Amino acid sequence: MADVTLRHIYKVYDGGVRAVNDFDLDIKDQEFVVFVGPSGCGKSTTLRMIAGLEEITAGQLYIDGELMNEVEPKNRDIAMVFQSYALYPHMTVYANMAFGLKLRHTPKDEIDRRVKEAAEILEISDLLSRKPKALSGGQRQRVALGRTIVRQPKVFLLDEPLSNLDAKLRVSMRSEITKLHEKLGTTFIYVTHDQTEAMTMGNRIVVMKNGFIQQADTPITLFEDPCNLFVATFLGSPQMNIVEAELFMDGKTLKAKLNDRDDMVVSFPDIKAKQLASKEYIGKKVLLGIRPEHIRPNEGNLKAFIDVVEHLGDESILYCKMENRKEQFIIKIPFNSKIRANADINVEFNMDHVYLFDADTHKAIMGIPHEDEIPVNIDKNVMTMGEQEFTLDEQFTKHLLDASFNANVKLAIKPDYISIEEVPDSLAVKAKLEFVEQKTDYQAVYFSLKGLDGYFAIKMANDQEVKLGKEVTLYLPYRRLNVYDVEHNKTNSREDIFENRGEAIVNNVNGQMHVKVGGATLVYPENPDYPNGKYDIVFKQDKLVPIFNRKMLKNSDRENPEMDNPKNKIKVYAYDEDVLGDKIAAYVQVEGFDYYATFVMKNNFSVYKMPKFELYVPQDGFVLIPKE
């Protein structure tokens, strides 16, 4: 039994493939967590890092509170079941299951007890004397599981264990594994690319894409509240329909015009309209999503043409085209043999179940957000949020990049992390409870903040009492807070940020200013403000540009031609980087500096591809402060 905690885990393979980025997740004891996503999204890499089969590039892995990064796989008390079950063909089922324990010199009677117990759990007691070739695929997979169970690990890792089985067997093994999890009461982490497997097996699902967690939640919440277009269309079968829509107000009612057609207009119920993330979306093009089961045929005013019908026994799937529209629209209804293809129908959207997504970012913009975002201003350690003012925790401000200060930034936090009970090391924000929407697994509770537009949503347990209009204090743990700039780049970092400050010597020669920093000499036109002498030099975080070597140059989009062989450059050595969005923060050593310096640059560069590199220093890339 064990908790598994992944803290900001990164994996960069040799050659620079970023397989996993900022993977942050708390897996509770006895949970059954499924990692799901398309091939290549980083699921197996993450699992292998937990198992210790792959080194963790950055971040921390804890099992039961103990740091595991450097612990040998065999000492992690973890067992992994792979896709290919690799049983020893010459050994009996019993011997296959006992083998690992024998290697560990477990006493014979103990081995016997554990093998028999595992065989009973898996209902393979009568197969113990057989050899693998006399077993079916499903039975072999059970033996592979048995071999793992006898080791009594704290955590089970399963990497696509069912993908070699035929479809029917896969379905029955799914429920076998779910039952096994219940019987053993052990933490399970299961990897699959199959959304149905994920939806039916996990207590919690982690949806991944391109090495990033997209959303981690219960199956039903992912289904009801996908945080973006990817999650929305990845889960659910047939998948969610997506149409272009333009939002507008008709009196007090929020409406959407579909596909630019005046005769295709839908209206949002009030409770939905209130949940629109920002009024700025009104008048704009967005994407509207609706699941096939939430469209009703033969009602309403939207015209459609039925292209193909599939009658599946208990349900009928209609592949339709909306008038003048090429894309298909799928409708799922209870079985109805009267509905035929090649016919016109009217349809109606169930507007209680409509989703909206930003046309560019593809983020969900109606309903409980993936992250609440509140506009704030930060000046040194003082943050203003509407009419409220806070003195920020020192530890928190140490992680803020320069771009966080006195700029248009947003403070962000996932609704799951906000508490109405006091928690240590958190920001206490006063808010007024405005309205509530019931969900299957929780209630979405919306608050307003004094002096700010819009709402701020949190998740509360279904049985927690809520009073509309009540003033409450919400606690936002510092360690869960993010800060974003207007382009949605993170401006808080994983690492402590020190001022990029070191020593420099200015020497003016023949109308040129020579600035000596460490081993480098930077040359600029002479400036009367800086006579010869000793200075402190402070490099600006976002003004220096990495100079690419030939290999990196090949696939870069550098604009600055001056950069091909610039004279003004410093040599740095990086120890890590943090992905901020379109940018990265590189943590580097600069000769002559006491602390690490931080440089923010475009993410076409990675220190993992080039840990030793040079930075071009433009004239406006630093300030000089005379030494007393």
**C-beta of residue 299 within 8 angstroms of C-beta of residue 347:** yes
Write down the least CB distance from residue 235 to ligand ADP, Å: 16
Q: Can you read off the two tokens belonging to residue 5? A: 């905690």
Write down the least CB distance from residue 626 to ligand ADP, Å: 50
CA-to-CA distance for 240 and 544, rounded, in angstroms? 44
Q: Which stretch binds ligand ADP (CB under 6 A): 32-40, 213-221, 349-357, 420-428?
A: 32-40
Write down the least CB distance from residue 45 to ligand ADP, Å: 3
| Residue 34 interacting with ligand ADP (CB under 6 A) | no
Indicate the residue among 43 and 140 with the shorter CB distance to ligand ADP: 43
CA-to-CA distance for 606 and 584, rounded, in angstroms? 8
Binders in 4-23 for ligand ADP, by CB under 6 A: 13, 17, 19
Indicate the residue among 470 and 551 with the shorter CB distance to ligand ADP: 551
| Residue 39 interacting with ligand ADP (CB under 6 A) | yes
Write down the least CB distance from residue 516 to ligand ADP, Å: 41
| Residue 40 interacting with ligand ADP (CB under 6 A) | yes
Q: Which residue has the tokens 């309403």?
A: 300
Binders in 407-466 for ligand ADP, by CB under 6 A: none
Per-residue CA distances from 492 to 144, 394, 403, 488, 561 (Å): 45, 13, 9, 12, 31
Indicate the residue among 46 and 426 with the shorter CB distance to ligand ADP: 46
Indicate the residue among 15 and 334 with the shorter CB distance to ligand ADP: 15
Q: Is 63 exposed, middle or buried (0-12, 13-18, 19+ CB in 10 A)?
A: buried
Q: What are phi and psi of 531, to 5 degrees?
A: -70, 165
Indicate the residue among 160 and 246 with the shorter CB distance to ligand ADP: 160
Can you count the helices (H) and strands (E) in the chain?
A: 11, 38
Per-residue CA distances from 331 to 149, 223, 301 (Å): 44, 17, 16
Residue 316, strand partner residues = 311, 333
- Terminal-to-terminal C-alpha distance of the chain: 61
| Residue 51 interacting with ligand ADP (CB under 6 A) | no
User: Which of 524, 499, 519, 534 has its CA nearest to residue 624?
Assistant: 534
| Residue 45 interacting with ligand ADP (CB under 6 A) | yes
Q: Which stretch binds ligand ADP (CB under 6 A): 42-50, 144-152, 309-317, 584-592?
A: 42-50
**C-beta of residue 50 within 8 angstroms of C-beta of residue 113:** no
Indicate the residue among 17 and 460 with the shorter CB distance to ligand ADP: 17
| Residue 53 interacting with ligand ADP (CB under 6 A) | no
Binding-site size, ligand ADP (CB under 6 A):
11
| Residue 41 interacting with ligand ADP (CB under 6 A) | yes
| Residue 513 interacting with ligand ADP (CB under 6 A) | no
| Residue 42 interacting with ligand ADP (CB under 6 A) | yes
Q: What is the β-pairing status of strands 265-267 and 212-217? A: unpaired
| Residue 592 interacting with ligand ADP (CB under 6 A) | no
How would DSSP label each residue in 441-456? S-EEEEEE-TT--S-E
| Residue 43 interacting with ligand ADP (CB under 6 A) | yes
Write down the least CB distance from residue 154 to ligand ADP, Å: 23
The residues of the shown chain that bind ligand ADP, judged by CB under 6 A, are: 13, 17, 19, 37, 39-45
